């Protein structure tokens, strides 16, 4: 916005330029809009199904950087990147980031075995050398996604006074919307049932938001996100469609258990502090 002021001594017009910044209360809505626009751009170019996921992981990170720059300039972008460098924390949080996804896949395997859909030997036999490559492939994409989802999206919601549950679910909904087009013909989810998608992704958002809030680390959220994807080979001995549906049941249950245990622990800690 340009504003003219008259100089007191010379009477000449002095032009002062003010840069209009994006309001903090608008950051999340603008972020969501940018994510959906970038998603539309990705699918408009009709990439190969093997390329689409790698383009989509760039969307939240790019949107986060753009909106951060628009709202606070370089300091805001630096703060955003800084949330990815938080790594000093108790080992139990690393154990949670890696262990919860492993527990989820093992629960799916055990359920499949109990239902007679696979045997332990078949599950082990389905693992191949390529399973060792999966963690390397998914790590960087997961970190990029969490820079946007937790590092920017959840943090923006919290800064706006929203509750952690609200933040987790809203970011989860945007996350779901980004994945729905993967059901289009020729894309990654073609042929899979759709009902597990919101359950899996909303539950994932709750868990990832939980660990982000506990550690203030988008890096650790990224590690958990990567592990959720990297442990998929543990289920290769089961039918893909069945695993997809099983995850739609198992992951919500795990997220409920984790949050419930966390709430109980927090209450006991608070009661102990009050008693002292």
Q: Quick: pLDDT tens for 229-251.
A: 999 999 999 999 999 999 999 99
Structure tokens at 143: 């970190």
**pLDDT given at position 20:** 54
What is the spatial distance between Cα 225 and Cα 234, in angstroms, rounded to a whole number? Answer: 16
Structure tokens at 119: 């045997």
**pLDDT given at position 14:** 37
Identify which has the larger pLDDT, 5 or 200.
200
**3-state class of 152 per DSSP?**
helix
3-state helix, strand, coil in the chain (%, to 5): 75, 5, 20
Query: pTM for this structure?
Result: 0.89
Q: Which range among 119-128, 166-175, 206-215 shows the weakest confidence by mean pLDDT?
A: 119-128
Q: Is the pLDDT of residue 186 over 70?
A: yes
**pLDDT given at position 38:** 96
Q: Are the C-beta atoms of residues 231 and 101 closer than 8 Å to each other? A: yes
Virtual torsion, Cα 141, 146, 147, 151, nearest 10 deg: 180
What is the spatial distance between Cα 141 and Cα 54, in angstroms, rounded to a whole number? Answer: 7
Q: Is the pLDDT of residue 276 over 80?
A: no
pLDDT tens figures, 34-78: 999 999 999 999 888 888 988 999 999 999 999 999 999 999 999
**pLDDT given at position 274:** 82
**β-sheet bridge partners, residue 181:** none
Rounded average pLDDT over 141-149 = 97
**pLDDT given at position 49:** 84
**pLDDT given at position 252:** 98
């Amino acid at each position: 916005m340009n504003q003219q002021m008259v100089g007191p001594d010379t009477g000449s017009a002095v032009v002062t330029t003010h840069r209009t910044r994006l309001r903090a209360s608008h950051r999340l809505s603008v972020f969501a809009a940018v994510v959906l626009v970038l998603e539309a751009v990705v699918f408009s170019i009709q990439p190969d199904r093997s390329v689409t996921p790698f383009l989509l992981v760039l969307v939240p990170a790019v949107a986060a950087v753009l909106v951060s720059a628009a709202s606070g300039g370089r300091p805001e972008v630096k703060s955003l990147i800084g949330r990815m460098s938080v790594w000093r924390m108790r080992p139990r949080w690393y154990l949670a980031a890696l262990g919860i996804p492993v527990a989820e896949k093992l629960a799916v395997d055990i359920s499949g075995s109990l239902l007679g859909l696979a045997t332990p030997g078949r599950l082990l036999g389905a693992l191949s050398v390529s399973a060792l490559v999966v963690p390397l492939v998914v790590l960087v994409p997961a970190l990029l996604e969490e820079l946007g989802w937790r590092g920017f999206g959840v943090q923006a919601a919290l800064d706006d006074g929203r509750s952690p549950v609200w933040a987790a679910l809203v970011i989860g909904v945007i996350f779901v919307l980004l994945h729905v087009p993967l059901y289009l013909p020729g894309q990654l989810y073609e042929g899979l049932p759709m009902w597990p998608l919101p359950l899996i992704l909303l539950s994932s958002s709750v868990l990832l938001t939980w660990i982000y809030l506990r550690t203030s680390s988008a890096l650790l959220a990224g590690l958990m996100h990567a592990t959720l994807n990297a442990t998929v080979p543990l289920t290769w001995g089961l039918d893909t469609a069945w695993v997809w549906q099983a995850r739609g049941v198992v992951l919500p249950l795990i997220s409920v258990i984790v949050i419930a245990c966390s709430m109980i622990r927090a209450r006991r800690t608070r009661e102990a502090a009050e008693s002292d």
